[in-house]
Structure 1
Amino acid sequence: MSLKAKISLVTTRINSTLLVQLPPRLTVVEAVSFREYFQTWVEAPGLTKIILDFGQTTIIDSSGVGSLISNHKSAQAKNIQLVFWSVHPQVNLAFSLVGLDKIFHIETNTEAIVPTATRKVEQRPPLTHASVRSPMKRAIDIVGAIVGLSITAVIFVPIAIAIKLESPGPILFSQIRCGWMGRRFRIWKFRSMVTNAEALKATITNQASGAFFKNDNDPRITRVGRFLRKTSLDELPQFWNVLQGDMSLVGTRPPTPDELEKYEVSNWQRLDVKPGLSGEWQVNGRSKIRNFEDVIELDLRYQNNWSLLYDLKLIFKTIFVILNKDSGAV
């Protein structure tokens, strides 16, 4: 089905309240259409409350989550109360995994399925990509992370000394990124920029088009940092993120929260998988990519082609790219 295909939503307005019955699935196709409808609803005169009835909705993905976040902000901007009814346990689990159960106004006394002493509600993970559910992929991640952290421990001291000699400040750099389903986590790298790099970002020209940042001659990068990026040594501490389960050895590039703010609903598809230390973007000229749509295309290619064998191929390709003197991030 095309992303442009419109879905039908049953709505009922009573005075200043609009009741919306959501479909059984809230995935990318439904989410794009839902977002478009919502923009017209919040512009309706005299509307003060919108109730989203999740009674039939049992399947949600990252695009569905993205549409709800976007619509929640639109409602707040118009001073319209947004209330969730009859949230299925599986959908509520998706909300809780990314902390949205504390942000959304979910009325718990309208649960569609109420557990009893004789009936248990199965708490399945939200529908997502097969790679996230694969225990073998997770096992490979754990083994790879342990090996990677061992290598990091061996070369930590010389890298730390080099960073300190050129630019006094912390050895490691941390930043909040968004992972699977938009879940936020703290990523770790060897510091490759000056200590006030984040404050200076607004003064640097963005050479990329869309929801990510790129500048080939970024003056915030130190000489040591440029070498670390060229060799991808700056990313070694991310093996800790892999060991924790926030990242995978192979996946997609994790966006920053401000990048996520610029996403269209359909762009959230790239968050159906865990972010990775490597991926299609790493082995297909990441330093040359300028268009965000190209990033999306690579991410969706990975999702469509994913298998354990495909992951292994990308890992070996990554090693080759790193060893190639003309590769690396800048």
Structure 2
Amino acid sequence: MRLSAVLTGAVLALGLAGAAVAQDKTKVGFVFVGPVGDGGWTYEHNEGRKAVEAEFGDQVETVFVENVAEGPDSERVMTQMALDGADLIFTTSFGYMDPTINIAKKFPNVKFEHATGYKRADNVSTYSARFYEGRAIQGHIAGSMTESNIVGYIGSYPIPEVIRGINSAFIHAKKVNPDVQFKIVWAYTWFDPAKEADAAKVLIEQGADVILQHTDSTAPQAAAQEAGNVITFGQASDMAQYAPKPRVSSIIDNWAPYYIERVKAVIDGTWESKDTWAGINEGMVGIGEISDAVPAEVKEEALALKNKIASGEYHPFTGPLKKQDGSDWLAEGETADDATLLGMNFYVEGIEGAIPQ
């Protein structure tokens, strides 16, 4: 009887210890706007999730839901994650901003991190990357390499993040090629390969021999490859399967260090609400290898520009610059402040067409 009681007690103790270990795991949720196999935006966020698992091992459990529409459906997904015990939830698209704030109010003990937004709360942080730094480098290469002087740009939605990128690319294309024109097609989607391919084809038919994209699939790369003498840039991930041409370089979103840092803060009990906006210098924005399809001199100039941006020697929005309507914006040597960039709702001088409302 005594031995049985001892064994029972030991088993019970082991069971309680196992339960405690299970409870000690930090549960981290990710809400994704596209599929993890999109080859772009969501793919890189999911690589960050995997990096968290690799870093913390049995200390964490990660869960994710992909293809979550921006709007009410995202609130349902966030709610379910919180109810299922998530300690930290990353919501990885601009359109999740208000839903994140709404759900965070209902779950004050859950930490939330919203990508690319600007609304914070005691339990909601925001984070984004200075993609416009990478767009400056793309613009330099695009302006230098176009033969038709027409650069096509596939926009997702007319939000400040996308408008900033268009402006930055145009400014730097114009610096090396005063005759360059930008033609912009709004796809009104983050991820829709058919729409993205159609947009690329329309731009190519209009004479564009360079395609830039702020959408998430590789469809524009495939359309350019099929067209022949068109160059492209990988968006969000390297898209190196299309190198050395049409894809001649890329902007790579490296979320892993940030995700690891923020999960560690939750584990340590040091997490606080904050805003992070990092760029090339911090490693959140990477520039994919510039292929040999780019002339050596242009490649050298592009890398020099990257180094100047990273060191802080140069800011992509440095005056003199005017707005599209011809009004003065930045004086000689003046640089744009973050508040203006974060709310950017205008084109710079020289870009044709209106921003959709």
Larger Rg: 2
TM range (shorter): under 0.3
TM-score (norm: length of structure 1): 0.28
Instruction: Choose between structure 1 and 2: higher strand proportion.
Output: 2
